[in-house]
Structure 1
């Protein structure tokens, strides 16, 4: 085993990290600017391996997904001159220790489909294959997605087969989630035009700043008209989101649409339950094969306190798993799929605004 010191990267490591990246990879390299960014942020997840001769022999970069219990091994490299000395295993162990110390439940990574050496290392360390990303690398090679549970493996590891859809605009999170449900329950192929049409049917027109998002009853009505069974749960009876705007004309528009959605739900036989949708209700819906769309506050994800629709992709004893249709900074789409949120944290996330609005749309085939 190669005797090295493992520590967070320092500003003095920048040149060596950049040179190491050039030696290790022919493509898909991290830029000097990227290394500089993580060093400037004092990110302890950028871990370097230094030899007794003070040479940089390798590094691992672990990113933490805000508001979740998920970590991602973004990159790992070992100097070609140092290979064969189990340095990769030491870096992997350090990466897992860092993620564990940060109370992450999962560490995820991507690996080239043809990198048999790395795949063997990951599988030896207990990583499980859970996804494939076609045409992921610059040379069009596919990536395999692996993950490892860093704490315990619960007995109930239910996960719905729910395709992920990325929203195409800042205001179509609800329609993107509904497209996921339509793909899962009806086999529909997601389409940007359909996403925008869904938004036109379900929108409140105004909300906070810019275009409005979607009303839960509006989403339920749009789902019913496309052949899905839909039920709405909401802990408030009055007009929703009206406090998110100050202009009285905008408040009137939001109120008018709310009354329209209530009336239409009654006409089309869509049940609206004016009570909280509890964690037990969510577990029962998942067990019954339902797709649940939940409104959350993004405060614990990005600090913006915005209303945001997500789709529930699975559950276990400790976490709910979400499909988030909106990748954030430093994220790739795969980072937004089956994201583990502890039950305690999820209870906090699904309260929006001063009125602590809690609402969900339960969909079936």
Structure 2
């Protein structure tokens, strides 16, 4: 069942009774790539989609169709058209505004669409509404015309805190923790430059160990120390005193090295006065951290995202009654960047994700603004 669709002026959700009017608009608006009657019926009755129409009196003046996917917080504008008799009367702009509200009602954080490269009026419409060009599809349309790909983040309309966290995509397969910390620090220091040099500096400081056969990974103690050295306040949540990632290697020698590095990190954390809470940071704790101005970095298992069980750090950028919103720095995923920014994850699902390994290791590092220097 669809979420409630916001009502805007003359705009309502289409029904199968509108198919004749939709077909008339389609045939008068496009010379190729037309939606068929069968396609409209599927979209209106079976598809994971919503079609909105602008109706004035008995006249359907235009329509817009949105597609949704259950596993991503992204809406796609599948088609938009205005009846030729009503061009230039703001019909498309009104439909687009209503579609964005509809996408928000479906918990989508972004909108995306393709526009013909030779369709300048449509491009101007979406650019005026804050959409940005992010790619192309060569030969996308039936006649061989290329498509320009546009997207817009809707996060700023949802919650102000979602807009403060700049996205950074990790450049190496093992620097997710460093990349997450960079995103959190950037939220508090807009002058901070996010680049590969900083990414590697933080990784070198925060990783448990690096060996020829692999590394132990960035742990919560190392990440908290890296933030602390740069003046940011931090706190750590871990569900025990165990050594993270120790069981990920078989060599006893390597386990000993990981343990030594971990123990040294723990000593440094205690000496630095960083708060360590030996308990799980669940929904209530994460909500409290947000209320106090913090940004949590959370260790998860990637199973839900990639169907591979691997430890991975993500940034939690906000929450509402039902969802946590995360930014995923993963550079190996086939998912496009817009599907990794402010992803909506149902809270109970996120709590299942936020653990790793046979021991269900849970770790959270919360980053806060820099601590002011004492006055002299």
| TM-score relative to the length of structure 1 | 0.67
d(CA) in 2 for partners of 1:326, 1:288: 28
1:333 to 337, 342, 345: 337
* Secondary structure of the structure 2 residue equivalent to 1:337: coil
**Which protein is bigger by CA-based radius of gyration?**
2
Q: Which runs of 5+ in 2 are unaligned?
A: 1-17, 24-30, 36-46, 51-63, 137-145, 370-376
1:344 to 332, 343, 348: 348
* Secondary structure of the structure 1 residue equivalent to 2:162: coil
For 1:176, the equivalent position in structure 2 comes to 179
d(CA) in 1 for partners of 2:124, 2:350: 33
| Deviation, structure 1 residue 147 | 4.7
For 1:256, the equivalent position in structure 2 comes to 260
* Secondary structure of the structure 2 residue equivalent to 1:136: strand
d(CA) in 2 for partners of 1:344, 1:286: 18
For 2:166, the equivalent position in structure 1 comes to 163
Residues 157 and 315, structure 1, Cα contact 8 Å, conserved in 2: no
For 1:214, the equivalent position in structure 2 comes to 218
1:231 to 222, 229, 235: 235
**Range with greater deviation from structure 2 (327-336 or 261-270):** 327-336
Residues 112 and 149, structure 2, Cα contact 8 Å, conserved in 1: no
Distance 1:83 1:110, change over 3 A: farther
Q: Does the alignment pair 1:192 with 2:190?
A: no
| Deviation, structure 1 residue 159 | 3.2
Distance 1:116 1:233, change over 3 A: farther
State how many pairs are aligned: 302
1:287 to 273, 280, 291: 291
* Secondary structure of the structure 1 residue equivalent to 2:166: coil
Q: Does the alignment pair 1:307 with 2:311?
A: yes
| Deviation, structure 1 residue 271 | 1.5
d(CA) in 1 for partners of 2:21, 2:153: 27
| Deviation, structure 1 residue 3 | 3.7
Distance 1:274 1:115, change over 3 A: farther
For 1:201, the equivalent position in structure 2 comes to 205
d(CA) in 1 for partners of 2:251, 2:32: 56
Alignment deviations for residues 224-258 of structure 1 (CA, whole Å, 9 cap, x no partner): 00110111110020211111121212211211111
For 2:140, the equivalent position in structure 1 comes to none
* Secondary structure of the structure 1 residue equivalent to 2:276: strand
d(CA) in 2 for partners of 1:4, 1:147: 30
RMSD of aligned alpha carbons: 4.5
d(CA) in 1 for partners of 2:359, 2:84: 58
Residues 322 and 338, structure 1, Cα contact 8 Å, conserved in 2: yes
Q: Aligned ranges for residues 94-105 of structure 1 at < 5 Å?
A: 105=107
Q: Which runs of 5+ in 1 are unaligned?
A: 7-18, 25-43, 48-58, 124-128
| TM-score relative to the length of structure 2 | 0.66
For 1:136, the equivalent position in structure 2 comes to 134
Alignment deviations for residues 46-79 of structure 1 (CA, whole Å, 9 cap, x no partner): 99xxxxxxxxxxx98957474x5x2442x63579
Q: Does the alignment pair 1:76 with 2:83?
A: no
d(CA) in 1 for partners of 2:124, 2:263: 56
Residues 231 and 363, structure 1, Cα contact 8 Å, conserved in 2: yes
For 2:111, the equivalent position in structure 1 comes to 109
| Deviation, structure 1 residue 305 | 1.0
* Secondary structure of the structure 2 residue equivalent to 1:159: helix
Q: Does the alignment pair 1:322 with 2:320?
A: no
Residues 164 and 323, structure 1, Cα contact 8 Å, conserved in 2: yes
* Secondary structure of the structure 1 residue equivalent to 2:215: coil
Distance 1:111 1:64, change over 3 A: closer
Distance 1:115 1:227, change over 3 A: farther
